[in-house]
Chain A
Amino acid sequence: MSEFGKIRATINGQTYDLSVALNETLLELLRYRLALTGTKSGCETGDCGACTVLVSGKAVNSCLVLAVEIDGASVTTIEGLSAGGELHPLQQAFIDHGAVQCGFCAPGIIMAAKSLLDEEPRPSEEEIRTAIAGNLCRCTGYLSIVKAIAAAAEVLRGGDKR
């Protein structure tokens, strides 16, 4: 039977005091305890990237992070990306470039891309592909996704490309 631990963490800007099971993953915490179901469960073994979120700004597979590990950290999920109802340029770019088909990989790839663009505002195509190499997509063939990320990078740099 699981034992519990207490954590305090900021998730999408809101601070939570939570009692979590010691073997509970961050993915389970987000999806089932906090009903933040935007982050997806595709394999639960860290191979597909569908569960990617940012923990203290770094992209992680939330299925491989224990909930207790985020004590004192800030977490951003896909739900936290659209501030005040406005889409983040990455989200808008995915829509505009046809980078969304079934959509299951999209939240994870968008978060991985955000982590890249936070660190590297002018990524090369190679850097974009490497940043999302841990995110599997079976529908799009990745090309529209890479274009969308590059377009979003330009918007974030102040360029006008919509």
Chain B
Amino acid sequence: MSQAPSAIGRPLPRQDALAKVAGKARYVDDLALPGMVHGKALRSPHPHARIRSINTAKARACPGVVAVLTAQDIPGANSIGPIIKDQPVLCSDVVRYVGDPVALVAAETEAAAEAALARIEVDYEILEPVLDPIRALERDAPAVQPNGNIGSHFKVRRGDVQKAFSEAAVVIQRRFFTPRIEHAYMEPEAALAAADGEGGIVVYSSTQYAHRDREEVSRMLGLPQSRVRVRQMTTGGGFGGKLSPHAQCYAALLAWKSGRPVKLRYRRDESMIASYKRHPYVTDMKLAAGRDGKIVAIEATFVGDTGAYLLEGRAVITKSVTHAAGPYFIPNIKADGYAVYTNTVPCGAFRGYGVPQAAFALESLMDELAGRLAIDPIELRIRNGLDTTCPTSTGQILRASVPFKQMLGRAKVAAESLRPLLQQAPEGRRRAIGVGCSTRSIGSIRTPSRSTAVVSLHRDGSITVACGSVDIGQGSDIMMAQVAAEELGASVERVEVISNDTAIAPDCESTSASRVTYVSGNAVRMAAAKVRARVLGLAAQDLGCAPGDLKLMDGVVLYREQGMSLAQLFAKHTFHIITDIAEFIPDTSPLDPETGQGSPAGTYSFSVHLALVEVDQGTGQPRVLRYITFSDAGRTINPMTAAGQVHGGVAMGIGYALMEQLHLDQGVTNSSFATYLIPTALDIPQEVPVEFVEDPEPTGPFGAKGFAEGSLDPAAAAIANAVSNAIGIRIERLPMTGERIYELLHPPQPSL
């Protein structure tokens, strides 16, 4: 064990913060290469149509144009996707949503490329679209995909819900609606690609998974992966929305075919119309309990509109279904989820990944149940909360690090502290408190994902960590530096982390699923431990003692009063560098397709949020006045970045709860930040206290488990419960805009 002051638990600023505040950080659009041209994509204006022909002659003749490409120009596979590869790079026969890509242009300037796009002639035969998921399930609905409109179905079965419902003291059920929403990362999609002059290609990417970018580009171009290098640039946000490398593939295809470097960046409206979104859900949920408040059964049906392509729809639905019971023990479960195709913009990964939708429904019913049984809402949750003795909905018993009831206890105290504010509502306004809770499995839900890390110790004691989990702003790089520093007794400032280059960092799968701290953090710690063992083994030989007698600190191996510097040790044994590699994959078992039972994750994280809202009865406008959070990351490696996650997740939750909704006519109509509103500095309460209840996860790096999406999962639920309490009417639909609340408060009078 090292003796240096612990690197774990320190709120260290991230290593790239200086470059970012100085304007020196390099995002894709900050790059320029000699001979670079600009790419643009032509997209379908129709939600459903057959392509009869594409005539590019006039576009080719436009000034400054160097390439005009269609599907037939793709040398390899014409399909990409983060999990299910069912989205064409370029459509060849059918377009399935407004925004589906049809052709590409590269030209000397962006203006020239846009002008050429307008000269591409596509002859469409318009087909009947289906724009609503309930309609899409009807027998005679138009087929979006050849095998019908159900893209995926997943279920969980445990016990006998019908029997439990018939015997229960209270049964409640409702239908809930959650909207299709936009990630709204501040940096729109962008990619720069250039042939490397040696038969390969380099892609500079804004991405959550550089190695997948490499895989998809290599498949599309028919190149071996070893000939494709992807360099993740500083990435301006992702939130799940940069997991499918469409921009990267367009840029790479244009670069490959034109022989020029190509930069392709999406306009903001293009990003809002064409890139994938959060699944809107229609959720039917039924909950039953005994008089004592113990929940006996849950029945849930989630219908998620996955849009034109499945992408990650199967996994999102699986996450919702396996999390339908939330952070509670419910003995009888019948849950079904459907990812349904429609001719709308595809839906995919988005922070929360099906849990926010499920939490909104469940937490609303929990509050309704509490009201019916006259039990305090937090007390009801304590009575039903998971702990280390009872199984999750998939039958997994979490043997450690389940601080949920403790967090609820803290929330009870916090709710009391908010009560005086309830009396201070001005005239014409109503205030109320709401609670929202959630749990989520850490890591991908259907197949476990592995991280691989390489740690190198240099003879001056400095360290290089090569681990391909990219940092997209959330702070994973500094986390890995802290883990390596801790294991090797070094100061964090002497650790270099390289996560952004497929030529250097091993594939660690995606930055998603709240997995990086747990999975990649573990891989880094294990690799560093191997290096440490080798160093101490060598030193022990030289000093004639056992490795366990030695300490490694600040580049020196210490034995009693003696010290041997790494430089000395390395020189003696002819090492310039000691490097080792480790892989970590969580200990899981697969989900049974008939019952949904299994152990899909190595650990689960819990969240408890409290919201105090004020509703203006005159306008209906709700406002979040106070917001208190309790989060569970096991041991928190960096409290500063962890708090940042909470604040960001809560802000996103306020948006989801109160203002965000994409409107579709045939395609997205509100495609700017003037018409798609996300929270500003004026929409966030004065403070959002962040408390991490630390119950270490034994299988995590230094007890850490990560938590990321837990910052958002219960937020809309907490705010909805608060609004429901304020107006005395159960909220069934998000977002809770002023207009909607007004209509609930002033229902239209029946005409005579």
State the A residues within 8 Å of B (CB). 31, 35-45, 47-48, 50, 77-79, 81-82, 87, 90-91, 94-96, 98, 100-107, 110, 125, 128-130, 132-146
Contacts and interface: CB of A to CB of B under 8 A. Distances in A.
The binding surface of chain A is classed by DSSP as loop
Contacts of A44: 267-268
A77 B23 contact: yes
B34 to A, nearest CB: 14
B23 A100 contact: no
Nearest to B651: A141
Contact of B473 (A31, A87, A102, A110): A102
Contacts of B17: 94-95, 100, 103
B268 A45 contact: yes
A104 B187 contact: yes
A129 B23 contact: no
A42 B652 CA distance: 18
B237 A139 contact: yes
User: For chain B, which range describes its interface: under 10, 10 to 19, 20 to 34, or 35 or more residues?
Assistant: 35 or more
A133 B22 contact: no
Interface in B50-89: none
A98 B640 contact: yes
B50 to A, nearest CB: 34
B40 to A, nearest CB: 14
20 contacts: A42-B188, A43-B188, A43-B673, A45-B672, A45-B674, A95-B18, A98-B13, A100-B20, A101-B474, A103-B17, A104-B186, A136-B678, A137-B186, A140-B647, A140-B648, A141-B648, A141-B650, A141-B679, A141-B688, A142-B679
B473 A139 contact: yes
B237 to A, nearest CB: 4
B18 A87 contact: yes
Interface in B671-712: 672-674, 678-682, 684, 686-688
A143 B647 CA distance: 7
Contacts of A105: 186
A142 B647 CA distance: 8
A43 B681 contact: no
A7 B421 CA distance: 57
B185 interface: yes
A133 B234 CA distance: 25
Nearest to A28: B110
A144 B268 contact: no
B473 A103 contact: yes
B673 A48 contact: yes
A145 B648 CA distance: 12
Interface string B13-26: 11011111111111
A106 B473 contact: no
Contacts of B618: none
Nearest to A93: B21
Contacts of A78: 21-23
Given A94-B17, A102-B472, A143 B684 contact: yes
